[in-house]
Amino acid sequence: MSYLDLTITDMHEALVAKKVTPLELAKEALERAKANNDNAFEGYMDEQALSIAASLKEPEVNNPFWGIPFVIKDNFATRNFPTTGSSNILKDYVPCFDATAVAKLLQAHAVPIAKSTLDELAMGGSGITGHKGPTFNPYDSKHERMIGGSSCGSAVSVAASIVPFALGSDTGDSVRKPAGYAGLVGMKPTWGRISRYGLFPFAPSLDHVGYFTRSVEDAALSLAVIAGRDLEDSTSSTRPVEDYTRLLKTDLKGIRVAVIKEIMDTITNPTVLKAFDQSIVALREAGAVVDNVHFDKRLLGTIYPTYITISCSEVTSNNANLDGIKFGPRFEGNTYQEVMFNARTAGFSELIKRRFVIGSFALMRENQDVLFLRAQKCRRKIVDTLNDILKTYDAVYLPSAPTIAPKFKDSHDQLSDEYLIADNHLAFGNFAGLPSLTLPIGFEKGMPLGANVMGRAFEEAKVFQIAQAIENKTGYRNLSAKEVRV
Amino acid sequence: MNFEPVIGLEIHVEMKTKSKMFSRAPVTFGAAPNTSVLPLDMAFPGTMPVVNKQAVINTIRVCDALHMSIDRELWFDRKNYFYSDLPKGYQITQAKRPIGSDGYLDIEVDGRTKRIEIERLHMEEDTCMQHHLSDGTLLDYNRAGIPLIEIVSRPNISSGTEAMKYVEKIRSIVQYSDVSDGKMEEGSLRCDVNISLRPYGVSKLGTKCEIKNLNSIANVEKAIEFEIARQEKLLLSGIPVEQETRRYDEMHKETVLMRKKTDAVDYKYFTEPNITPIVLSEDFIQHALETCPELADSKKARYMQTYGLSDYDANTLLLDKDVSAYFDEAMKHSPLAKLLANWISVDIAGYLNKENKTIVDFPIEPKRLAELITMIDKGDISNKQARSVFEAMLTSKDAPRVLAEKLGMTQISDTSAILKVIHEVVDANPQSVVDFKAGKDRAVGFLIGQIMKKTGGKVNPGLTSKLLIEELNKR
């Protein structure tokens, strides 16, 4: 076993004990990244990685990120390094500043290894729409299964033990869904907890910076590094950053967990249900009260259309800057409209253009009332319902998906209850901006299954506490696709 | 006239804050193109708007001066359109909830007061400057993102003169509150006019035209008067007015067609998700108002009531904010308001006119002018001498007292010194004493002349004459 296979905490110990150096880790991470064949990367950061790693000589005992290699989703701006959003329209774009989350990791002397692939401009949940084609699930050597998106490359990076930490972004479930398909801990904290400065906007009212780790403890440690007020993002919270690990060793006495019955009713896969039930036993054993609660099924059915309407509306405006004049490849035309039209036609994939059209349509004067504003009302209702549950419960706990990672050929658009509700419910955590964490709870056919803990706003420490109790019971810590193969 | 003009004004005021509305880039005027620009101003992906606090403070001040109700929550919206004057592809503005609503401004026209109602006032960001050339367009993003206040009147303005007075007063408010330079010539105050005509007594509005690109307050009046006449002529000939955007051609003194208006563009407004609503506390608003520089109306009341200036004098000083600031500064060093006002509106104004300068470039500091005025008031120098000292002050930093001495013109106001000369002169001219006693007033004049001759004209004439008569009466 290599030191690179360790979690952040264990790797940190090895670094402090000087059993391994940041440079050795960085070199091996780069090798593994390049050897990986899951189509997970947009660019390898050899130059930065090696020069930063080489400069790290004396271990910093109290800094768990010192010398830790990490991967960055390619929709975070990286200074002097191309950032494509996995879209042709930004193919050669080189930002002149670092996203705040990236800057904070660099300040902590973590070592950037690569920029990872995503669904084009973070739109999509499959990991197949990036400009370089589909990203594969490393747990499936036959490359038949998706890893989910949009943070597909970041999920691969951590699941394949290329790095113990990767930045992602989560607008609907783009960190938490792939985390479930890849046996990872995927975390998005409260909206405003981590600055979004430098994250390419998809739908700002729903966008969150998130990340992948291979243990709950790593996830708790990481948040303190990248959270905090940022003057460049006025929506970032002024609350002080906490020690998010402080409750990890505390049992769950007095903790109340809610399971939404109407969502469970749409899940039919027995392995998923069994693993989930076992994790509930674990929660109860740790002292938590776990109850079934109700959530109007019709309202649950609106989550997906509400998400699509709001996110598409916001995204059409957010990407209006990519017009082939300021950004993107130049396509000539007789008028500025033609230049923009040609650039945007060639630069965006069909899927993206479809979303722009949906968003534009929803925002049109004559449609706003029945589409965009109605979606806002739905969002408000869903959030109110969720927050009502959280008045009496510390967390909502649910499977992160109704199945293991689907095969590419099985992917479909049918609006079944399972698809509408079980497959897309995580977005209500984005509507409400609540802290939400996915962690592994089982396997089927060698493919991981995940569950999700969602807590009250700014109660991240409690979310980690609950997740830790589950991890303690399952023992699913530091899972790696390198060892588990079908 | 057969028709009633219905006129509404949209005024854009460019604020002179240190940084832009949502970006830390400095607000500069006259800097090299595209140098006052940060990634946010060029819409680099991932940059986010941060609301400029001073711009909010400024806007609150203007809202208050226009008697508007101030929204206690700030909301911003996106106005979406594809055009290169804003690189984001949208402008951040306040469409749904403007910070100010339902205000008014009273103006004086021909001695009577008219209340112009104001519908709304909101903050937004300016677009970039476009220089259209024959073979292309150059874009200067220095201006993109500069904070703007937009003030939308209700259409209850009825003439070019009213419109002009309204713009003048708004300019005065934004200038005095230090919000803006308020210069139409330089584009820091811009005015679009909506104008339609309808027969008197008819309530339905006629088709309106918009006039853009007015570059002076005088042109606001001229353009409106022309446009009223143009539309009236059309209507009287039975030709309908078409909805158009027109501009004012200064050379030919007429409005000319820019473009026909088609269906209004759908800007697909929605709430800016990167700015969460900002609550304005009463304390914040109060502080913004308490720290607001004094506005012209308040200054005028002070000039007239406290300083006893006439309406005319007060207006003259207040016409230019910098002139009134000069006056206020001078008043700190000399309480002689009337004299100061005279000197400022006659001597200084004359100089500035002649030299084609503004008071900002005037070489004499207010403190120095106050010193000069004090010397006149004390009788240290005569008005005539003061003008020579004033001339000298234009090219010298020396105090007026020093300059007066250098010019050898300081008056002798010391009673004993004057008495000494009086004694000498009276003693030397006994016949004059006799003449005086005989009631010949000429004698006084003659003796004063002698005294002046002896002192080189340096004695204070009033004082000397008083002392001389006393002395003659004693003899």
Q: How far apart, in whole angstroms, are the C-alpha atoms of residue B246 and residue B66?
A: 28
CA distance A68 to chain B (A): 25
CB contact under 8 A, A96 and B80: no
Q: Give the pLDDT confidence of B251-260 residue by residue, as tens digits.
A: 999 999 998 8
Exposure string over B182-212, b if 16+ CB within 10 A, otherwise e: bebeebbbbbbbbbbbbeeeeeeebbbbbbb
What pLDDT is recorded for position A411? 66
Give the per-residue pLDDT at A420.
Answer: 79
Total of domains in chain A: 1
Residue type, B434: V
Best of A120, A314, A319 to mutate (most B CBs within 10 Å, chain B) = A314
CB contact under 8 A, A198 and B43: no
Reading the block at residue B126, the tokens are 């300016």
pLDDT, one tens digit per residue, over A196-217 is 999 999 999 999 999 999 999 9
Rounded to the nearest 10°, the torsion over CA A113, A114, A118, A122 is: 80
| Contact criterion met (CB < 8 Å) for A233 and B45 | no
Cross-chain CB nearest to A197 (options B46, B78, B82): B46
Strands of the B147-153 sheet, one edge to the other: B69-70, B100-109, B112-125, B147-153, B3-14, B189-199, B209-212, B244-249, B254-260
Its domain, for residue A48, covers 3-252+435-474
Q: What is the mean pLDDT of residues A296-322?
A: 96
Is pLDDT above 50 for B123? Answer: yes
Give B392-408 pLDDT, tens digit per residue.
Answer: 999 998 999 888 888 87
Would residue A305 count as lying in a domain?
A: no
Which of the following is catalytic: A27, A73, A104, A188? A73
Residue of A nearest to B265 (CA): A365
Contacts of B274 in chain A (CB under 8 A): 201, 204, 233-235
| CB-based contact, B397 to chain A, within 8 Å | no
Per-residue pLDDT of A33-92, as tens digits, reads 999 999 999 999 999 999 999 999 999 999 999 999 999 999 999 999 999 999 999 989
Q: pLDDT at residue A355 above 60?
A: yes
> What Rg do the C-alpha atoms of chain A give, in angstroms?
21
CA distance B61 to B54: 11
CB-based contact B51 A234, cutoff 8 Å? yes
Residues of A in contact with B275 (CB under 8 A): 234-235
**Closest CB from B87, B90, B275 relative to A317:** B90
What pLDDT shows up at residue B92? 98
Q: Cα distance from B94 to chain A (closest Cα, Å)?
A: 16
Distance of alpha carbon A166 from alpha carbon A188, whole angstroms: 12
Positive or negative torsion for Cα B391, B396, B398, B399? positive
| Min Cα–Cα distance to chain A from B268, Å | 5
Task: Find the helix or strand (DSSP H, E) in which B251 lies.
Answer: none
pLDDT value, residue A423: 87
- Report CB contact under 8 Å: B273, A203: yes
Interchain contact, A363 vs B51, CB within 8 Å: no
CA closest to A98 among chain B residues: B46
A vs B, Cβ pairs < 8 A, gives 99
Residue A208 domain flag: yes
Considering only residues A482 and B139, tell me which one the structure prediction assigns the higher pLDDT. B139
Statement: residue A485 has pLDDT above 60: no
Q: Which residue is closest to B91 within chain A, CA to CA?
A: A317
Spatial separation of the C-alpha atoms in residues A174 and A204, rounded to whole Å:
14
Cβ-Cβ contacts under 8 Å, B49 against chain A: 234
Q: With 60 as the cut, is the pLDDT of residue B3 above it?
A: yes
Predicted TM-score (pTM) of this structure: 0.89
Question: Is A200 close to B273, i.e. CB distance below 8 A?
Answer: no
Output A483 or B176, whichever has higher pLDDT: B176
In a domain, A186, yes or no: yes
pLDDT at B460: 76
Tokens standing for residue B233: 């002529």
Q: Which residues of B touch A95 (CB under 8 A)?
A: 44-46
Burial of A66 (0-12, 13-18, 19+ CB in 10 A): buried
Higher per-residue pLDDT: B466 or A289: A289
Confidence of residue A414 (pLDDT cuts 50, 70, 90): low
- Segment of A79-83, A124-128, B108-112, B342-346 carrying the highest mean pLDDT: A79-83
What is the arithmetic mean of pLDDT over A282-309?
97
Q: Which residues of A touch B44 (CB under 8 A)?
A: 77, 95-97
User: What's the average model confidence in pLDDT over B268-275?
Assistant: 97
- Optimal mutation site among B268, B275, B276, interface A, most CBs of chain A within 10 A: B268
Q: Any chain A CB within 8 A of the CB of B47? A: yes
Inform me whether the C-beta atom of residue B42 falls under 8 Å from chain A C-beta atoms. yes
Domains in chain B, CATH or no CATH each: 3-279 (no CATH), 294-406 (no CATH), 415-474 (1.10.10.410)
CB within 8 Å: B46 and A196: yes
B45 and A321: CB-CB below 8 Å? yes
Determine the distance in angstroms separating the CA of A328 from the nearest CA of chain B, rounded to an integer: 12
Sign of CA dihedral A205, A209, A214, A219: negative
**What is the four-CA torsion angle of A86, A193, A401, A468, rounded to 10 degrees?**
130
CATH number for the domain spanning A228: value is: 3.90.1300.10
A221 occurs within a structural domain:
yes
| Residue among A180, A224, A93 at smallest CA distance from A436 | A180
A421-434: average pLDDT: 94
d(CA B40, nearest CA chain A) in Å: 10
> Do B266 and A364 count as a contact with CB atoms less than 8 A apart?
yes
CB contact under 8 A, A364 and B268: yes
- pLDDT number for residue A168: 98
Please say whether the beta carbons of B33 and B150 come within 8 A: no
In whole angstroms, what is the distance from residue A405 CA to residue A181 CA?
Answer: 5
On whether the CB atoms of residues B398 and B374 are closer than 8 A, the answer is: no
Nearest-by-Cβ selection for A325 from B46, B84, B269? B84
CA distance A340 to B19: 30
Across the interface, whether the CB atoms of A323 and B44 are under 8 A apart is answered no
Average pLDDT over residues B327-336: 92
Question: Does the distance separating the beta carbons of A337 and B43 come in below 8 Å?
Answer: no
Q: Do B80 and A233 touch (CB under 8 A)?
A: no
pLDDT by residue (tens digit) across A137-181? 999 999 999 999 999 999 999 999 999 999 999 999 999 999 999
B96/A contact by beta carbon, under 8 A: no
- Average pLDDT over chain B reads 92
- The pair of structure tokens assigned to B70 is 């101030």
- Cα→Cα distances B357→A181, B118, B202, B363, B387, Å: 75, 35, 50, 10, 19
pLDDT of residue A419: 79
Q: Tens of pLDDT along B408-443? A: 776 666 777 788 888 888 888 888 888 888 888 788
| Highest-scoring range by mean pLDDT, B75-89, B150-164, B312-326, B450-464 | B150-164
Catalytic option among A174, A215, A237, A436: A174
Residue A219, pLDDT > 90, answer yes
In angstroms, the first-to-last Cα distance of chain A is: 20
In a domain, A269, yes or no: no
Residues of chain A found within 8 Å of residue B39, distances taken between Cβ atoms: 96-97
Q: Note whether A326 contacts B276, CB cutoff 8 Å.
A: no
A-contacting residues in B 260-289 (Cβ below 8 Å): 266, 268-270, 273-276
CB contact under 8 A, B50 and A231: yes
Q: pLDDT band at B1, cuts 50/70/90? A: low
Sign of CA dihedral B316, B318, B320, B322: positive
Contact list in B for residue A203 (CB cut-off 8 A) is 273
Determine the Cα–Cα distance for residues A428 and A419; give it in Å rounded to an integer: 15
Q: How confident is the model at residue A486 (pLDDT cuts 50, 70, 90)?
A: very low
Q: Which residue of B has its CA nearest to A372?
A: B270
Question: Is there a catalytic annotation at residue A174?
Answer: yes
Here the ipTM equals 0.94
- Assign B164 a pLDDT band (cuts: 50, 70, 90): very high
Residues of A in contact with B34 (CB under 8 A): none
Average pLDDT of chain A, as a whole number: 95
A297 lies in some domain: no
Question: Confidence class of residue B265 from pLDDT cuts 50, 70 and 90?
Answer: confident
Checking if the pLDDT of A456 tops 50, the result is: yes
Answer whether residue B203 shows pLDDT above 50.
Answer: yes
Residue A217 lies in a domain: yes
Whether residue B19 has pLDDT greater than 80: yes
Which of A86, A116, A126, A150 is catalytic? The answer is A150
A466: in domain: yes
Q: How far is A233 from chain B (nearest CA, A)?
A: 6
